Structure 1
Amino acid sequence: MRTGLLCVLLCWIAPALAANSSLSLADLAASPRWQALMHVNPGATLRDRGRSYIDDDNYFLAKNGKDDVLAELRATLAALEPAKAPERCRYPARYRFLAGHLDWQEDAPFAHCEEYSRWRSAVHASRAVLVFPAAYLNSPSSMFGHTLLRLDQGKDSAVWLSWAVNFGAVSTEADNSFFYIYRGLAGGYPGRFALVPYVQKIQEYSHMENRDMWEYTLDLDQQEIDWLIEHLWELKDINFDYYFFDENCSFRLLELVEVARPGSQLLTELRFAEVPVNTVRALDDRGLISERHYRPSKAVELDNLRRQMTAQQQRLARAL
């Protein structure tokens, strides 16, 4: 039944593809954005070269989708083309990709997707900011620092209203630091993206852990930010492999930026380690950083105020 439906859909799509001789299913599967949506490893790491980084069968519609992006494209065509198809609610970015290339014109393609529509109305942004909290030696996963993405509602909106996009290992509280490092090095943890209010991250990094934070506004337009947000929904509860040195929080954020702006060449160079400093440098080298902002920790702010006081005032403060 599924094979017959796929044949019918491909016959229906063939005229649209034939209208543009340079366009074919193979061309679409090889396009930078489809490769980015599939998270295909272009050779940046030695593991899974030429395959998808995603280590979760729930993400793929084809049985061999992790290894064959063309097969995954064919399965996606069959699943998303019918009006009110339930799979559309899972893959809004994939639908947008196919609709743009195959001229699917619908006024409300997600009208039947109540959960996604509620989520999308709550998660909206007009600016993306890469945030780099400084190193924190008390946490093995942050000994080189950390990176996350902040989604702002507007340029002048309060950051308290922003969302934070974070990637991390799914560990348990029972794991001690040495066990965490061992499993992190060996790929023993799954990694997942999480979307949380940014105010939680400010409280965690700046107030509780006294970590300075550097913020880098990314030069992404509204359409590119929409691509990123829609793809985040597709990655909800989807597992990746997590490796402490290379396939970590910084590396995964570069994958998201590639979805927003495919062809940025952020993942083409082979790397044996991906640290936050290199991530910032890679984005800057590609012209993707437009602004920079430094947010000192509360400890740094208090120390700066102390240095402005006279010796007598400092003695009085200590006495109080």
Structure 2
Amino acid sequence: MSWSRTWLLGLALLASTCSQAELRLQLTDAELSPAERQASQQLLQDALAALPPRLKQQLDRRVSVRWRNLPAQVYGRAGRFSGIELNSALLPGLSDGSRTTTLTSRPHGTVRRELLATVLHEITHLYDRAQLWPQVERQLQHQCRQREQSLGAVGLPDYCRGQTARRFTLSDDPLLLDLAGWPQQVGRRGTREQDNHQVARSPDSYELSNPREFLAVNMEYFLLDPSYACRRPSLARYMSAHFAWTPANQQPCAEGLAYLNAGRDFARQPLGSIDPQRVYQVDYLLAEANDALASRWGHSMLRLVICAPGRPLGPDCRLDLQEHLVLSYRAFVGDVQLSSWDGLTGAYPSRLFVLPLEQVIEEYTKVELRSLASVPLRLNRVQLEHLVTRAVEQHWSYDGDYWFLSNNCAVETLKLLRSGTQHPRLHALDSIMPNGLLDTLLARGLADRSVLADDAEALRLGYRFDSFRDRYQAMFSVLQAQLPIEQTQVEDWLALPAEQRQPWFARADLRTSAALLLLEQAALRRQLLLAQDELKRRYLSGRDGVDPTLNKAGGALHQILANSGFLSRPAELLEGGYGLPQRAEWQRLETQSQARQQQLRQLSDNLDQEVRTLLEPARLAEMQATETNLTQLGAHLRALHKSGGGLQLP
């Protein structure tokens, strides 16, 4: 045999040996009984069979496994050099026929399942510590340099330094950290938040202690729970992509993702279902700023353009406004007092509300007199559907802290966009202001500015919803054309006492009376807003129990606020389970949410009857005078119409 043939044969044998090299688990206890040894060996074989092939190949080593006396709460641990140790107190339950005994305090249930999960958990720690990806470090450094050159973003070198300082293990992968609940801090690229706020619907609270344990706990469920991909689809996709492998035991997922509609219509069943494949587009929805502290930079939201049943995906879906939903991170206020100081110190929970678009349009354009801009995001189909799925996951799991200046609606929305779409252009993007975030999205080509170019067309197609302030000003111009009033702006007219507006009614023709009616309706909405603010202060001053009437109405209000929390934190309706609710849990969701909604409806009816007793006499008198004006204007309009006048509104 020639030297070259010998060399080629040796190389082939070496390649064959390397291709077969993989993780080995070796039981090292010498004093086990035959039954204990057999059960232990079977446990290790089952663990190896459950692991991804890539993990076993890359973790090419012999790992010793021993039974040891460990604290009762510790089922196992992996030392850096000593292999894996299992709690010997569980060995009898594994080997004497009682291995199916249920452990009610443990997430996996039985002794055998818990021990199998423990072995997989500790192997994941070994894999995570192995530092197997030096090529990843070189690749990311190269990508950072390329991104810096292509985007030229201010502050991007800080982001790159944050990346190159990583350990480059699986548990500190930026994408995993985003999905796990340790997102990038605002204004500090590469620095991660310290606390995990994805606290609801967790399979095991131990996962929240740090990213290493999060990875290990989720590997248990990824490998053992057939419903994992249905309960935590974003993480399941991540795991499958990393290992280029999917467990064979996965069950099919039901169509649609459950959510609770936080709309104010307490007569409807709040439980709904979103099918990501029925979402045509996702828009960045911006409510323009006003003078209030909490909204002087606008409010960031996402609009889901959902197609009506039977309609194919396409531009016509934008006409199905009754189907569209809004994702809105808001401070959940469990009391009537909205304190600016509390907002600055993070005293309010930050939660993801799912609201009907029609309600959002009304509350901003009619009540708060703020316009809305709805700008489509430039996402491909995969990014869009993953974003919708991620949003529903956050709806069920997230309960953060709302900070007006550092973790507000813009910051929360940006974090959702990052983790949901995994769009590379979002990684180095940063903004703490809603209007600034929209400007940045437009500047990076991530949103379509062209839809706002023509105001009339944008209004017609639903890319813009204008404030009723402009309409009220148009009505006010009708008044100015006929009546010798002194006011020049509609705000000045609406600020007049109702009794000073009333004498002008008799002098108005049909057209002007119609304009007066619309403005008087606006005046009543304004009074309701002022009454709402007054109610907060009045209610707080009456909570000490001096006035039983105040207590009755205030109690109803307090109960509404306390009992409506489930609409933004729906996990409290379910016991057990984790992640997205599955079909088996929907029946309980329907029952529980309907019962809560009926209770809210009753409380709302009680509050409607009693709430005016909480108002100051002057405010109550002004509201009643405005309502009297509306009655008089209605009668005046009917009389004019009966006399034959035509009605033409501008």
TM range (shorter): 0.7 to 0.9
Q: Corresponding residue for 1:254?
A: 414
SS state at 2:224 partner: coil
Which residue of 14, 34, 48 corresponds with 2:55?
Answer: 14
Which residue of 397, 400, 410 corresponds with 1:240?
Answer: 400
Quote the offset at 1:247 in angstroms: 0.3
Which residue of 119, 133, 147 corresponds with 2:300?
Answer: 147
Count of aligned positions: 310
Deviations 1:198-244 (A, max 9, x none): 11111211122221112221111111111111112221152112111
Counterpart Cα distance in 2 of 1:63 and 1:286:
38
Q: Is the 8 A contact 2:276 2:388 kept in 1?
A: no
Q: Corresponding residue for 1:318?
A: 512
Q: Corresponding residue for 2:554?
A: none
Q: Is the 8 A contact 1:141 1:244 kept in 2?
A: yes
Deviations 1:143-186 (A, max 9, x none): 332110001124332233211001011112421x4xx2111111
Question: Does residue 135 of the first structure (1) align with residue 289 of the second (2)?
Answer: yes
Counterpart Cα distance in 1 of 2:282 and 2:178:
18
Q: Is the 8 A contact 2:229 2:237 kept in 1?
A: no
SS state at 1:132 partner: strand
Percentage identity across paired residues of the two chains: 17
| Counterpart code for 1:14 | L
Q: Corresponding residue for 1:181?
A: 340
Q: Corresponding residue for 2:226?
A: 84
Distance 1:120 1:311, change over 3 A: closer
Distance 1:214 1:268, change over 3 A: closer
Q: Corresponding residue for 2:235?
A: 94
Counterpart Cα distance in 1 of 2:246 and 2:475:
60
Distance 1:217 1:74, change over 3 A: same
Q: Give the greater-gyration-radius structure (CA).
A: 2
- TM-align CA RMSD: 4.0
Deviations 1:244-264 (A, max 9, x none): 111011111001111213433
Counterpart Cα distance in 2 of 1:42 and 1:122:
26
Counterpart Cα distance in 2 of 1:168 and 1:267:
24
Distance 1:203 1:298, change over 3 A: same
SS state at 1:264 partner: helix
Q: Is the 8 A contact 2:285 2:374 kept in 1?
A: yes
Counterpart Cα distance in 2 of 1:62 and 1:5:
25
Structure 2: 5+ residue runs without aligned partners? Answer: 1-39, 60-131, 138-166, 259-271, 307-313, 453-463, 485-507, 515-650
Structure with the larger RCO, 1 or 2 (CA within 8 Å, 6+ apart): 1
Q: Is the 8 A contact 1:217 1:290 kept in 2?
A: yes
| Counterpart code for 1:250 | A
Q: Corresponding residue for 1:44?
A: 186
Structure having the larger proportion of residues in helix: 2
Quote the offset at 1:77 in angstroms: 1.9
Q: Corresponding residue for 2:371?
A: 212
- After the TM superposition, which of the residue ranges 32-41 and 166-175 deviates more from structure 2? 32-41
Counterpart Cα distance in 2 of 1:131 and 1:197:
13
TM-score w.r.t. the length of structure 1 is: 0.78
Q: Corresponding residue for 2:389?
A: 230
Deviations 1:119-145 (A, max 9, x none): 3438841211011112244x5422332
| Counterpart code for 2:341 | Y
Quote the offset at 1:63 in angstroms: 5.6
| Counterpart code for 1:311 | A
Quote the offset at 1:108 in angstroms: 10
Distance 1:268 1:115, change over 3 A: closer
| Counterpart code for 1:290 | D
